Chains A and B, each alone.
Chain A
Amino acid sequence: MPYGYIGKILRVDLSDSRITVEEPEENFYRRYFGGRALIAYYLLKELQPGIDALGPENILIFAGGVATGVPISGSGRNSVGAKSPLTGGYGDGEVGGFWGAELKRAGFDAIIVKGRAEKPVYLSVADGHGEVRDAAHLWGKETTEAQKAIRDELHDDAVRVAQIGPAGERLVRYACVINDVNRAAGRCGIGAVMGSKRLKAVAVRGHQPVPVKEPEALKRLSQWLLANRDLFQGLHENGTAGGLMALDAAGGLPTRNFMQGSFKGAEAISGQTMRDTILVKRDTCFACAVACKRVVKAESPYDVDPVYGGPEYETCAALGSNCMIDDLKAVARANQVCAANSIDTIAVGTTIAFAMECFEKGILTPKDTDGIELRFGNAEALLQALNLIVARKGIGNLLAEGVARAAEKLGGEAPSLAMHVKGQEVPLHEPRLKHALGLGYAVSPTGADHVHNFHDTAWSQETKLLRDSKTLGILEPLPAQRLDARKTRAFTYFTLWRHFMNSAVLCIFPPWSYSQVAEIIRAATGWDTSIWELLKVGERAANLTRAFNVREGFASGDDDIPDRFFHAFTEGPLAGVAYSREAFLAAKRLYYQMMGWDEETGIPTAAKLHELDLGWVAEELGRHGKP
C-alpha cells in the first residue's frame, strides 16, 4: 500500500468527456514526485513542440506532491501547469489553500485534462470518481458566485473549487487559476489555458485521509514548529507585506515601473498599516500553523469584501508602489477584482505600470485609453484599466495580451519599457538589490519568477537560512550586491532545492530546515530518503523544464533580463550601485557549466540527463536535433 501518494492520476478528455484512471508505479512517484517535475514529465511526453498554448492540443495538469494533504504545515498546496500562453514555454503556478489536500482525499494525486469541450463544463471529482458537468450557467460568473452555485448543486458546502473567472474565460493571457476564491495559482497564464478548454472549474471532495507512514514523526515536527513560533511570528502578524518597509529602506522596493527603488507612500501600503487599518482577521491553509493569509474589509470609496482575503506583498508592490498608488483600500479593491475574475496581480500590475509609463511618455494618449488619465499614482485610472482588461475592451484588450505583446504592438520605445522575461511579467523584487535574483529571472524555465529564485539579502549575514544551508555546503555569508563564482554556486544549489519544493509542492514559508523537509517526506512516504535524493528531484525538474523549452526553440539569448536593471538608480539608498551586464553574463555561463549544460547554448548535456536517470529526455532532444 502506498503512503503519502495515492497512486492514481485522473485523466479527462474534454473533447468526448471520457474519463480514465492511470496508476503509475511507486518509482514514478519517487522519481517525479508531483508538482513541477510531474507536470514537466507529462508535457514533454505528450505535447508536440510548436502547438498553440490556447489550442485544444495543450494539456492542463493539476498536481499535488507526495506530501500534499498530510497533516503538517506547508502541505496544503498544489500546482497547475501547461504550456504557457505568455511565454510559449513550460508554465506552472503554485497555490495554497485547501484544494490540493482535498484532491488527495478525493483519491487522486493529479488530474490531467486534454482537449476542448464544445460547451462550458466543470469537472466534479469526489471519492475516486470524476464527472464532467455542464457549466453553461456558470460561464461569465465571478469566482464567489460560481463557487456558491457549484456547492449548491452538489449539495455540499465542503466542496473545494479551483476555477477561472471571466478573465480566464476571455483568455486574458495572464489569467490565473483561483482556489477557494482567494488563493491564486498566479503565474504563466494557466487560467487562460483553462478558459481555452472551456473548463470553468474543478470541484473536489473526498473523505479518505492521505495515508501517512509515520504519523508520530509528523506530530513531533509540528510540536517543534509550535515551540518555535518566534521563527514565523512576523509573517503571521503582518503577512507577506510585512517585509515591504525593509525593501523600501534598502532601496529595493519596485516603484514607478522599476525606475525607482523607494516609494514615499510605502508605509501606507505596508503589512503593518494593513493590520492597523483594514485587516479583520488572519487566515491559513490546510494544516498550517503559520497563518500568513490576510482577510481585509473596506468601505467607501473602495468596497472590499473579506471573502476575497487580502493583498500579498507582491500585490501591494505590483498594484501599489510600482504604480505609485499609496492607497491601501484601492490596492485591496484591485486585489478583489483580480480574485473575482482570475487575474495574476503581479502580471497585471507590471503591465499597468508599463502603460502608465507609456502614457506619461506620450506613447499612449487619452485617445488610446478612452480618456483615462493613466498616470502613475492615479488609483481610479488603475481600477478603470483593470476593469477594461477583465472585459478585454478598449485599451484593456491590448493590455490583456501581457506586457511583452502589448509593447511589441505599440512599437518604438515601448519594448524597452516592458519589464518581462520570456514574456512573463517581472515580479516585485529588484535585481539591483539582489544580484543573483537577476540571474534567477533570466534562467528560470517560467520566465521571471521570484519563488524558485535566490533572494541575496537573506544570505548576506548569518541568518537562519544561511545556518540551515551549511548542510548544503554553503558556509559563509555572501554580499547581496555581488555576482561571483561563490554566489553562483550557492544560487545553483538553492534554486535546485526550490525546484524540489515546487515538485513536492511544499510551501516555503514554514521555517523548516532542509533536514526537516526530508523528515517530512520520510514520514509521509516511508521512503528512506535524503537531502541528496530530494535535490536530485529538483534537478530533474530543472532539466525537464529546460528540455521542454529547448524543444520549443528557446535559446541562450532568451535567458536575459530587461536592460533597465543594468542601469544604476540615480537616487535612494542604491544610487550609483551598478549591476553589471558583464558579471551577469559571466555568471550565466558559469551557471550553465555548474548545471552540466552546454556553456554556449544552455542545453542539458546527454551526460547530465543520464546522470539524472533522464535518458529518455536525451533521446527526445536528440530526435529534435538538440544538441
Chain B
Amino acid sequence: MRLTVTLYGNLPSYVGGREKFTLELEPGTTVQDLIKQLRLPKEEIWLVSINGSRAAETQPLRDGDDIRIFEPVSGG
C-alpha cells in the first residue's frame, strides 16, 4: 500500500531533511511500526494524525492514508 507522510517541526532532520514523502508499506503496518521504520525518536513525537483525525499508536495504516507526525509544541 502507498501512503503520504508529513513530518513537522524538527522531525524532518531525522530522515535527511525530508518533510513530505510517499511510502510503500506492507499491509498491516501500524503507526508504531511506521515510527520505528523511520527511526524517529519516540520522545520527540507528540501526536500522529491520520486523514485529519488523531491516531493511536496501534492503529493500522491503510492505502492512501495522509499521515502527519508532530513533535510537542511550545509557544512564544
Interface residues of A (CB under 8 A from B): 230-234, 237, 240, 242-243, 245-247, 249-250, 272, 429, 434, 437, 450-451, 453, 455, 457-458, 460-463, 465, 508-509, 573
Question: From residue A182, how far is it (CB to closest CB) to chain B in Å?
Answer: 18
State in angstroms the CA–CA spacing of A340 and B33 once bound together: 50
Q: What residues of chain A lie closer than 8 Å to B54, measured between beta carbons?
A: 249-250, 573
The interface residues of chain B, by DSSP majority, are classed as loop
Q: Which 9 A-B pairs have the closest CB atoms?
A: A234-B9, A246-B70, A230-B13, A462-B43, A455-B75, A458-B74, A234-B10, A243-B73, A246-B73
Note all chain A residues with C-beta closer than 8 A to B43: 461-463
Known: A455-B73, A455-B75, A508-B76. A245 touches B12 (CB 8 A): no
Residues of A contacting B19 in the complex (Cβ-Cβ under 8 angstroms): 237, 272
User: Interface size (B, Cβ < 8 Å)?
Assistant: 22
B44 at the interface (CB under 8 A from A): yes
Instruction: Name B48's closest neighbour in chain A (CB-CB).
Output: A249
Q: Is there contact, CB below 8 Å, between B12 and A509?
A: no
A457 CB contacts on chain B under 8 angstroms: 46, 72-74
Known: A230-B10, A463-B44, A573-B54. A245 touches B75 (CB 8 A): no
Contact B74 A233 (CB under 8 A): no
Q: Is B11 located at the chain interface by the 8 A CB criterion?
A: yes
Chain B residues with CB below 8 A from A240, complex form = 76
In the complex, what distance in Å separates the CA atom of A212 from the CA atom of B66?
Answer: 51
CB of A461 within 8 A of CB of B72, answer: yes
Q: Which of B47, B68, B72 contacts A458 (CB 8 A)?
A: B72
* Max chain B Cβ within 10 angstroms of own Cβ: one of A250, A451, A460: A250
Chain B positions within 8 Å of A465 at CB level? 74
In the complex, the answer to whether A242 meets B49 with C-beta atoms within 8 Å is no
Closest to A460 in B: B72
How near does chain A come to B54, taking the closest CB pair, in angstroms? Answer: 5
Task: State whether B11 touches A509 (Cβ < 8 A).
Answer: no
Contact A233 B68 (CB under 8 A): no
Which residue of chain B has its CB nearest to the CB of A249?
B49
Closest residue of chain A to B75 (Cβ to Cβ) is A455
Chain A neighbourhood of B49, CB < 8 A: 249
Given contacts A450-B75, A455-B76, A461-B72, could you give 6 more A-B pairs where the C-beta distance is less than 8 Å? A243-B73, A245-B8, A246-B70, A457-B46, A457-B74, A461-B43
Is the CB–CB distance between A458 and B73 below 8 Å? yes
Q: Chain B, 1-28, contact with A by CB distance < 8 Å: what is the 0/1 string?
A: 0000000111111000101000000000
Nearest-Cβ distance from residue A313 to partner chain B, whole angstroms? 8
